[in-house]
Structure formats: structure tokens, C-alpha cells
Structure 1
Amino acid sequence: MSVVGVLRKDFKDVRRAKLVWAPAVVYTLFMLLFFWGQSQSTNPDFYQILWGLVGIGGALLIPLIALVAAYLSIAGERESGSIKFLLGLPNTRTDVVVGKVLSRSAVVTAGVLVAFVIGVPAAALLVPDMTFEYGDYVLFAAVTVLYAVAYVAVAVAISAATASRSRAMSGAIGFFFLFNLVWNFLPVGPVQMIGFLSDQFNVEVSDSVTELVYSISPTGAYLNGILKLIMPDRFNAQAGAVVADPPFFIQGWFMVLILAAWVVVPLALGAWRFRRAELG
């Protein structure tokens, strides 16, 4: 069966799940809501819509879409025992992990892209006077898809490393809480801890380093990537100044590399852990 066989079988199974498509529908509704909101403005702002989608998508909906779609991809089959049938075919455990990542990523990508496709005619109908920046819109969609796939890879890795539905769910919730809410939004994240410790020990830490720490999480990389690649003027306004010749590790392209690393590294770790697992 190999990777392609696992992909086809899993895609057919998961695409019927309403729970997988529900968050994508919600994301589409929020997009339409933002377009409608700009239609009420005398000076509609295309980038205000994108930033609204970054906020609601980066903080909640995109991770939710990906985690719901993928956290039971392997753990669910291990608990039910169907994983033995899948491995009884000519598949390696690595084939299973890679196939699951590809199939769940395909479903999530389809849901997200449907929302972006709907957004084009919605903008023309709801906000005809707004200048629609197609190039930035495509780039925004591409980075958002990569962000979603990163969360899929994490969810599949967690699923591969756990033997039950409850543990997979706990792992997915724990990852979301730590690397989304705590890391980037709550006042107890690593950036705040660095600031506290630097004050206590009178050690100066550059803004570039703290920004890199903020961007290590998938959500931080996504937020900074969108700002720097698509909305640099808004980023500079929020930062309070234009940084001349910033270090490479806080530039927009490096944020994309961080997101790509969140795809590759969890996938490798998940496959390694699953190869060593006792399936009973």
C-alpha cells in the first residue's frame, strides 16, 4: 500500500467527518464577517481584513482546524486495534505517519483554501470600492496554509507518540495551551520571563533576541511572518521604529523557515517514536 495507499484510505475516511469541516466553515464565516464590516466603512482597508483574520485565525481557528483534524489520526486506530490491520498490509510505520500527515494536511488545506476562494467574490460583492491586493492575498493564503500544516504535523506526531484517545487529546490541548496561549498571549510567556530575569540580574537582552523567542512557537512565527512579509508598515508602526538591517533571524523569510521546521521536526520525531512503540 505504501504512503500513497495510506494517504488515499485515510483521506476518504476523514473527509466525511463533520467535526473536521466545522472549524473551516467557522473560519469562512469570520472572513465574510470581516468583509461585511469593511463594507460599512467609508474608507475600507484590505489589510485590516487580513489582520483581523490573522488575529482570529492565528489565535484560535487555524490551530483548532488542524488539531481536530489530526490528533486522533494514529492514536484512535491504536486504541481501536485497526492499526494492526493497516500495518498488516505492506506498510512500514513511517509510511503510516507520513501518509496520515499528508492526508490530514490535504483535508485541512482544502478547508482553508475554500475560505480564501470564497473571499474573492465576497470582497467584490460586499466591498466593491476596496482595492483588493491579489498578490498579498495569495501570499497570506500560502503562509496560512503552511501554519495549518505545521499544526497538523504536530498533532499527528502527538498521535503517533500516544496509545489512547485521551492521551492524544491531552497532548494536543497541552501543546495548544503552551505554544499558543502561554507562549504568545498570556503575560507569563518566555518573553515576559526574559524581561523579568534581565531586570533581576541586570542583564541586557536585545529586542531581536526576545522577538526570536516570541517567534519560536508556530503562532509567533505566523503572526510575525504575516506582519513582515505582507504588512511591514503596520509592523514598523507597532514596533515604534524602523529597524535598519535587522538580523536575519527576525526577518519574514526566516519566520517561514520556522513554520517549515514545525512541519519537519515533529514529523521526524513522531515517526521515530511510533517505530519504537509497542502496539500490543
Structure 2
Amino acid sequence: MATNALTVARDDFLNAARSHVVLGVVGAFVVSVALVFLAEMDLFADPYRTLNDVALLFILVGPVLLAPLSYLAVAGDRASGRLKYVMGLPASRPGYVAAKVASRAGVAVAAVLASLAVGFAVALAAFENAPDPAAFALFAVASALYVATFVCIFVAISASVTGRSRAMFGAVAVYFVLVPFWLGVTPPLTLGTLLSAVGDLLGTGLSASTREFVDALSPLRAYGGLIRPVFAQGAEKYERFAHMGGAPDAVYERAWFHVAVLLAWSLGSVTVGYLRFRRAELA
């Protein structure tokens, strides 16, 4: 089964690498990050300040760029009839889903790493203060985990539905819930208003710690927690990072908790997607 999964992953990765969509995704990541660093090289002396804006780019735009790469990973094969051919190699269903996740996540991680390598080069050449390799490395690892999580979610959606339109709708809905809704940028419908409504229904207000715990359960909040040490060094220099100074106190502010959240979203969504795919007709 492992050999079959590796074969499917290799073929899918090679086919994806030749796709204009993949080239567009990688190019969009690289160009976007390079433009952010070029635009801010005269605004800030420290490259890590610009990394904060790159993080915002990854949070808001990253999933949008990754959706075309992922949401048709399985649904596209099913709609085109290629899925029946792949299953006849032979290849097991769990191996097939795992291969799709691995190949598409590999492309996403490569896009992030390539974009940050370009950003590091620009920072090294153009910023007043030299970039910190350790800070860039931590940021790169956390960003890779973040984009891989969304790839897992989108591939899981692709494995769960039977048509291209349903896969696209599912990806859009998940993006709305996990990013704008969770960030609170879509008033009046936000996580905060939902928690307030739940508190009203229960007849008691939810405590601040409960709200913060629920807020910490999203991939974007976990990502933000993982990269917090990159910006903590600027707590006294930049007002934007003033709240990041000091060691985390609550459990949901610890690095291991953030990693656990990302892994839970990744493995949980893939598991659900596979369970639905396992019972699906291949035609």
C-alpha cells in the first residue's frame, strides 16, 4: 500500500508541477512576498517587521491561492473518470487520499519556502538591519504548517463531495468560516457575535478566558501563536508588537498547543474526508 501511495503521490506531484495552476500559485506566492519586502525596505529597518505583513498576506490570501490547487484534487479525478483508472493500478483508497494530500501539500510548502527565500534575499540586500536566519526559519516552518493545514482541509472537502461545484462551494465556505468569520472582519456575523449569542441562550455570559480559548482553536490563530516569538523582540520598538512581550501564561498560548491545533485540523479533516470517500461510488 505504501508503494502504491508513493507512486500516486509522485505522479500527481509531477502532473501538478506541469500545471499552469501550480506555476501560478507558486509564482503568486513568490511575487507577493517579494513585493511586500520591496515596498517596505525603506519603511522599516528590521526585516521581521515586514514578516508581520507577510504573515497577514499568508493568512488572508494564502488559502485563496491554495484553493485551486487543492479543491479538485479528488473531485476533479472523479468528474473526469481518471479516478477509476488510478484505482485499477492497483491503489488503495487510503493510499490514494494520502498521496493527494502529500503531493498538494508538497507544492504548497515549496511555494511558501521559495517565497520566503526570495524575501530573505531582498531583506539581506536592502534592509538596514540584516535578517535573522533563526527568525526566518521559525516563520518558514510555521507558515509551512499553516498552508499544509489548509491543503489538508481542501483535499478532504474534495474527497467528501461528488462534483466540482460542490468542492468549490465547500472550499469557499470553509475559507469564510476559518478566516473572515474567525478574524471578526465580517460584522455583524463573526465568532464574537456567535459566542455572545450562545452566552445569551445559556443565560450567562462567557468569560474572557473561554472566548480566548475558542478563538485559539482556529488554524490562523494557531499560526499567529507559533510566529509570535519572531515579533516579541520588537515589543518595545514597534507599537504593533507591544502586546507580544512576555512569556505566554495560558495553556492555549503555548507553542505545543498551537501545533496540536494545526495537526488536529489537518488529520481530523483528512480522516473525515477519507471516511466519506471510502463509501463513495468511484463513477
TM over 0.5: yes
Instruction: Report the residue type matching 2:115 in the other structure.
Output: A
Describe the shift of the 1:240–1:206 C-alpha distance in structure 2 as closer, same or farther (beyond 3 A).
Answer: farther
Under a length normalisation based on structure 1, what TM-score does the superposition of the two structures give?
0.89
Q: How much does 1:21 deviate?
A: 2.8
1:49-90 CA-partner distances (Å, limit 9, x unpaired) = 111011111111x21232221110110111111100000112
Which residue is equivalent to 1:257? 260
Equivalent of 1:23, from 18, 22, 25? 25
Instruction: Report the residue type matching 1:21 in the other structure.
Output: L
Describe the shift of the 1:116–1:40 C-alpha distance in structure 2 as closer, same or farther (beyond 3 A).
Answer: same
Percent identical residues: 30
Instruction: Report the residue type matching 1:31 in the other structure.
Output: V
Equivalent of 2:278, from 272, 275, 278? 275
- Within 1, Cα distance between the matches of 2:242 and 2:10? 46
Judge conservation of contact 1:23–1:64 (CA < 8 Å) in 2. Answer: no
**Residues 1:181 and 2:180 are matched in the alignment:** yes
1:8-58 CA-partner distances (Å, limit 9, x unpaired) = 1101111111222323322222322232233213x5122221110111111
Unaligned runs of 5+ in 2: none
1:194-231 CA-partner distances (Å, limit 9, x unpaired) = 2455478773433332122222222222223322x322
**Residues 1:81 and 2:84 are matched in the alignment:** no
Instruction: Report the residue type matching 1:274 in the other structure.
Output: F
Unaligned runs of 5+ in 1: none
Query: 3-state DSSP class of the match of 1:104?
Result: helix
Judge conservation of contact 2:75–2:163 (CA < 8 Å) in 1. Answer: yes
Judge conservation of contact 2:75–2:158 (CA < 8 Å) in 1. Answer: yes
Judge conservation of contact 2:120–2:136 (CA < 8 Å) in 1. Answer: no
Cα RMSD (Å) = 2.5
Segment drifting more, 79-88 vs 216-225: 216-225
Instruction: Report the residue type matching 1:268 in the other structure.
Output: T
- Within 2, Cα distance between the matches of 1:219 and 1:147? 7
- Within 1, Cα distance between the matches of 2:244 and 2:136? 26
Q: How much does 1:241 deviate?
A: 8.8
4+ residue stretches of structure 1 with deviation over 4 A?
Answer: 196-202, 233-245
Describe the shift of the 1:108–1:119 C-alpha distance in structure 2 as closer, same or farther (beyond 3 A).
Answer: same
Which residue is equivalent to 1:113? 113
Question: How many positions carry a matched residue from both structures?
Answer: 276
